[in-house]
């Protein structure tokens, strides 16, 4: 959908583009139209049961916007292991409406994405490399599956990456008591769509390895809509007036991991990140070198 | 015959009275009447309902103190005395008392800063990492009169370690010789590294800081939201077993129902020999917990049994079967209580536990050890001495077990 929209903007008059945009913004996600899919219900409720092991298959973790293939930061060390695949963005219209000063910060983030500063461990460098919780929405499109466990009054989402997780009570919303990496989620059903309203962010998470970021004023509204037995449409509206001039939206399908042996596994990556984080503090570290 | 029936009913009455002794204050309750109604009806899909936020602290010692001999339960008088001695930390549910308690704790904490330094690094701040707010009792913990968590072996003692485990322990000590407390991150314990608080099943029992677990169920799964930054996702279907090459800090859990009881078997634990160095403090992290003993994890099978015995209570049993480490399996029992703070609507979920993300202490520990390496070496040696004594005791236990086993044959 993003591509189609961009092509339209490039190839038509502004008014025509606006009409196209209105059509697409107002419609259902642009997957094959047909009779609305009726997902099986969670027993005891009238809601679809979203329980399962899900995964996004996009390259948004590298960059939520369009990006060409790239050698990555260490071609001499890693060959193509460290390369970035080409990928189409997940941002509607491919444009992130940064405020000018915020755009500069994004570019600085990118330059310092693999910098570790022991005295500013939370404010410099991509949190992913440090095995920090990915935040929302990034947790959704990390290249790792996540498990939804849906009960009648609460939904738990357990992400493999960094063992991040959140509990989403369904019903009356409550205010975030403090700030969190994964925010404070409140859920409700809009027909067959699970809507999760997330606030209470600490502002330390990023959107991707490209340095796209937000502040602690972030407000995310996520929508999970069953499209078939084995896929959900995921949409998230991003609002953060201190960083962006207007709300913007991302979307992508989520696929059920249907392999017979698919299951939630641990990626408790702390011990995999320690050398990266602390290695420079230790001269002649016994942990150094290739493993 | 009549005599025996009387005696038996007498024992039963004592058991009923003491098992559910609710500590002070017994508001509107009499001992033995703590069973708070029947368990709730099954979930809409027919599974027993274990859902809720559960207070999992225990004040029962893992092993039975010698003063209780063969007795599985203590008297209420003995319980009161232990409470007086601070062996059972219990505050009342009176807010003023909690406030006084917190103030007292904080006064003591700050007082350390002015105490005479005993020469140990960190002395003046040890125990002051958190102010009292974080270790406050959110609700009155209920306590049982059990004299030990271990119910099998019947003597209430952890079985002896195998010779293999003791030899592994020695090898690990040898490998640590000459290392300081903070030459690098692996010289710190797993909990300081934010990898594992004290592993499974230890983490299933609460500490004062993070006493609550939340259980959320759906057809085919039981999940346990842990207060240490992860969720236990427990599959209820059969499914192919996880390959033996895949080892995890918390293993791989599969569950099934036996009547009203959720039985969870966990295997595929990580090889902790290579990954765990003794933390400062006691033998393996100052914790007598199984996960810190030098098991390989290869053979470790953990079996947990969750039974909601009334509306407010889950009986929680676990059995450790690790033939590489223990000469025989052993079993404990504990109780989880529905958290009243949550059921009264004050809290609808656990808070995030961002330990690693803000582990500034690790940077400081490594820098500190560099600033005065001799100090860091001395401290490591002091702790090695504590473990050495522990190891000697463990060798004695093993030899005693071998002797009695031989004579028994």
Chain B residue with the nearest C-alpha to that of A150 = B218
Of chain A residues 122-151, which have a CB less than 8 A from chain B? 122, 127, 130-133, 147, 149-151
Q: Is the minimum CB–CB distance between A289 and chain B shorter than 8 Å? A: no
Residue A60 lies in a domain: yes
Residue A240 lies in a domain: yes
pLDDT in tens, A213-232: 999 999 999 999 999 999 99
The Cα B284–Cα B279 span in angstroms is 6
Q: Are residues A21 and A156 in the same domain?
A: no
* Per-residue pLDDT tens listing for chain A (291 residues): 334 434 333 344 434 444 444 444 444 444 444 458 999 999 999 999 999 999 999 999 999 999 999 999 999 999 999 999 999 999 999 999 999 999 999 999 999 999 999 999 999 999 999 999 999 999 999 999 999 999 999 999 999 999 999 999 999 999 999 999 999 999 999 999 999 999 999 999 999 999 999 999 999 999 999 999 999 999 999 999 999 999 999 999 999 999 989 999 999 999 999 999 999 999 765 444 333
Contact A44 B195 (CB under 8 A): no
Residue written as tokens 């602290």?
Answer: B57
Q: What is the DSSP letter of B355?
A: S
pLDDT of residue B169: 83
ipTM: 0.86
Terminal CA-CA length for chain B: 36
pLDDT of residue B290: 39
pLDDT of residue B128: 55
pLDDT of residue A79: 96
Count of the separate structural domains present in chain A: 2
Phi and psi at A30, nearest 5°, equal: -80, 55
Please indicate whether residue A157 or residue B208 has the higher confidence score (pLDDT). Answer: A157
Residue A39 lies in a domain: no
Residue B267 pairs in a beta bridge with B252
Q: Are residues A229 and A267 in the same domain?
A: yes
Mean pLDDT over B47-52 rounds to 98
Residue A195 lies in a domain: yes
Which tokens belong to A259?
């392999």
Q: Are residues A91 and A212 in the same domain?
A: yes
Per the prediction, chain A carries an average pLDDT of 89
The Cα A143–Cα A160 span in angstroms is 9
Residue A129 lies in a domain: yes
pLDDT in tens, B224-247: 999 889 999 999 987 888 999 998
Q: Residue A72 sits in which domain range?
A: 52-272
Among candidates A162, A264, A278 on the partner chain, residue whose Cβ is nearest the Cβ of B363: A278
Distance from CA of A60 to the nearest CA of B (A): 23
Report chain A residues whose CB lies below 8 A from the CB of B221: 51, 147, 149
pLDDT band with cut points at 50, 70 and 90 for residue B100: low
Q: Are residues A137 and A245 in the same domain?
A: yes
Listing DSSP states for A86-141 in one string gives PB---BGGG---B-HHHHHHHHHHHHTTT---TTSTTTSS-GGGGT----TTHHHH
Residue A277 lies in a domain: no
Q: Are residues A26 and A64 in the same domain?
A: no
Report chain A residues whose CB lies below 8 A from the CB of B248: 265-266, 268
The Cα A79–Cα A215 span in angstroms is 35
Report chain A residues whose CB lies below 8 A from the CB of B351: 177-178, 180
The answer to whether residue B81 scores a pLDDT higher than 70 is yes
pLDDT in tens, B20-36: 333 333 222 333 334 56
Predicted structure pTM score: 0.85
Q: Are residues A15 and A78 in the same domain?
A: no
The answer to whether residue B2 scores a pLDDT higher than 50 is no
pLDDT of residue B271: 66
Report yes or no: B278 and B176 within 8 Å, Cβ to Cβ. Answer: yes
pLDDT of residue B170: 86
Chain A residue with the nearest C-alpha to that of B240 = A261
Q: Are residues A160 and A190 in the same domain?
A: yes
Q: Are residues A6 and A73 in the same domain?
A: no
CA B23 to chain CA centroid, nearest Å = 20
Terminal CA-CA length for chain A: 43
pLDDT of residue B408: 53
Q: Are residues A68 and A211 in the same domain?
A: yes
Contact B219 A43 (CB under 8 A): yes
pLDDT of residue B61: 83
Of chain B residues 19-48, which have a CB less than 8 A from chain A? 43-45
Chain A residue with the nearest C-alpha to that of B44 = A44
Instruction: Look at residues A226, A247, A246 and name the one whose alpha carbon lies nearest to residue A238.
Output: A247
Q: Are residues A184 and A106 in the same domain?
A: yes
Q: SS3 string of A167-195?
A: EEEECCCCCCCCCECCCEEEEEEECCEEE
Backbone torsion region of residue B281, taken as left when φ is above 0, otherwise alpha when ψ lies between -120 and 50, otherwise beta: left
What number of C-beta contacts closer than 8 Å exist between A and B?
141
Residue A45 lies in a domain: no
Length, in residues, of chain B: 409
Q: Are residues A141 and A7 in the same domain?
A: no
Q: Are residues A21 and A119 in the same domain?
A: no
The answer to whether residue B287 scores a pLDDT higher than 70 is no
CA distances from A181 to A170, B200, B375 (A): 20, 25, 37
Element housing A110 (H / E)? helix A100-111
Residue A287 lies in a domain: no
Q: Is the minimum CB–CB distance between A186 and chain B shorter than 8 Å? A: no
């Amino acid at each position: 959908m993003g591509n189609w929209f961009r092509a339209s903007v490039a190839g038509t008059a502004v008014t025509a583009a606006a009409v196209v945009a209105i059509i697409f913004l107002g419609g259902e996600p642009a997957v094959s139209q047909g009779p609305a899919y009726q997902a099986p219900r969670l027993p005891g409720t009238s809601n679809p049961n979203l329980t399962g092991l899900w995964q996004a298959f996009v390259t948004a973790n590298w960059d939520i916007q369009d990006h060409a293939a790239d050698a990555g930061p260490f071609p001499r060390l890693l060959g193509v292991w460290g390369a970035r695949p080409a990928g189409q963005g997940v941002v509607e219209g491919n444009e992130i409406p940064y405020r000018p000063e915020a755009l500069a910060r994004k570019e600085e983030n990118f330059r310092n994405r693999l910098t570790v500063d022991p005295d500013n461990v939370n404010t410099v460098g991509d949190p992913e490399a440090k095995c920090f919780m990915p935040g929302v929405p990034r947790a959704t499109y990390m290249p790792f599956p996540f498990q939804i466990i849906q009960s009648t009054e609460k939904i738990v989402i357990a992400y493999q990456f960094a063992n991040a997780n959140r509990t989403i009570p369904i019903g009356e919303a409550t205010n975030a008591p403090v700030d969190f990496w994964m925010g404070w989620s409140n859920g409700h059903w809009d027909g067959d769509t699970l809507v999760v309203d997330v606030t209470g962010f600490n502002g330390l998470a990023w959107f991707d390895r490209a340095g796209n970021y937000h502040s602690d004023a972030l407000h995310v509204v996520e929508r999970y809509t069953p499209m078939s037995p084995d896929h959900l449409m995921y949409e998230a509206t991003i609002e953060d007036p201190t960083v962006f001039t207007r709300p913007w939206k991302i979307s992508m399908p989520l696929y059920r991991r249907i392999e017979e042996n698919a299951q939630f596994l641990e990626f408790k990556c702390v011990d995999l990140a320690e050398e990266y984080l602390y290695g420079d503090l230790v001269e002649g570290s016994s942990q150094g070198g290739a493993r | 015959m009549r005599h025996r029936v009387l005696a038996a009913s007498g024992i039963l009455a004592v058991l009923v009275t003491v098992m559910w002794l609710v500590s002070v204050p017994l508001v509107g309750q009499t001992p033995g009447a703590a069973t708070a109604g029947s368990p709730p009806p099954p979930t809409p899909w027919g599974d027993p309902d274990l859902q809720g936020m559960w207070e999992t602290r225990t004040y029962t010692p893992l092993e039975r103190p010698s003063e209780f001999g063969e007795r599985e339960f203590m008297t209420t008088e003995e319980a009161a005395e232990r409470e007086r001695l601070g062996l059972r930390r219990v505050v009342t549910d009176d807010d003023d008392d909690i406030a006084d308690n917190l103030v007292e704790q904080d006064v003591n904490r700050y007082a350390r800063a002015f105490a005479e330094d005993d020469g140990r690094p960190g002395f003046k701040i040890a125990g002051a990492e958190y102010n009292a707010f974080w270790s406050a009792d959110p609700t009155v913990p209920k306590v049982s009169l059990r004299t030990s968590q271990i119910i099998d072996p019947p003597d209430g003692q952890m079985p002896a370690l195998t010779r293999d485990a003791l030899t592994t322990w020695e090898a690990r000590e040898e490998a640590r010789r000459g290392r300081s407390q903070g030459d690098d991150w692996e010289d710190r314990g797993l909990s300081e590294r934010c990898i594992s608080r004290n592993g499974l099943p230890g983490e299933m029992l609460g500490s004062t800081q993070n006493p609550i677990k939340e259980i959320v169920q759906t057809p085919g799964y039981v999940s346990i939201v842990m207060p240490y930054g992860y969720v236990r996702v427990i599959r209820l279907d059969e499914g192919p077993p996880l390959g033996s090459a895949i080892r995890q800090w918390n293993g791989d859990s599969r569950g099934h129902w036996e009547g009203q009881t959720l039985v969870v078997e966990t295997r595929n634990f990580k090889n902790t020999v290579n990954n765990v160095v003794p933390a400062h403090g006691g033998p393996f992290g100052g914790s007598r917990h199984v996960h810190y003993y030098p098991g390989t994890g290869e053979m470790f099978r953990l079996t947990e049994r969750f039974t909601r015995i009334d509306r407010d209570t889950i009986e929680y049993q676990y059995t450790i079967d690790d033939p590489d480490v223990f000469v025989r399996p052993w079993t404990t029992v504990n109780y989880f209580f529905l958290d009243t703070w949550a059921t009264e609507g004050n809290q609808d979920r656990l808070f995030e536990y961002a330990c690693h993300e803000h582990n500034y202490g690790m940077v400081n520990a490594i820098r500190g050890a560099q600033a005065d390496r001799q100090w860091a070496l001395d401290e490591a040696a002091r702790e090695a001495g504590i473990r050495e004594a522990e190891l000697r005791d463990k060798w004695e236990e093993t030899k005693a077990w071998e002797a009695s086993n031989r004579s028994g044959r």
